Amino acid sequence: IASMLGILFGKKTGERFGRKMEIFGGIILILIGVKILCEHLFGMSLL
């Protein structure tokens, strides 16, 4: 159910905001990756 809601939400926001939402989503994914990398390399949690 959560993934279905995410798909519907993404479709609506994508239609409304377009490219800006793609860039925002990409930045979020990069930040998640950096957080995971720091946790594994340094053993520290950022959030």
Rg over alpha carbons for the chain, rounded to the nearest Å, is 14
Query: What is the predicted pLDDT for the residue at 46?
Result: 63
Query: What is the predicted pLDDT for the residue at 47?
Result: 64
pLDDT tens track for 1-47: 899 998 898 888 888 888 888 899 899 999 999 999 989 988 876 66
In the chain, domain spans: 2-42
Residue 20 vs residues 1, 2, 10, 23: alpha-carbon distances, Å: 26, 23, 12, 5
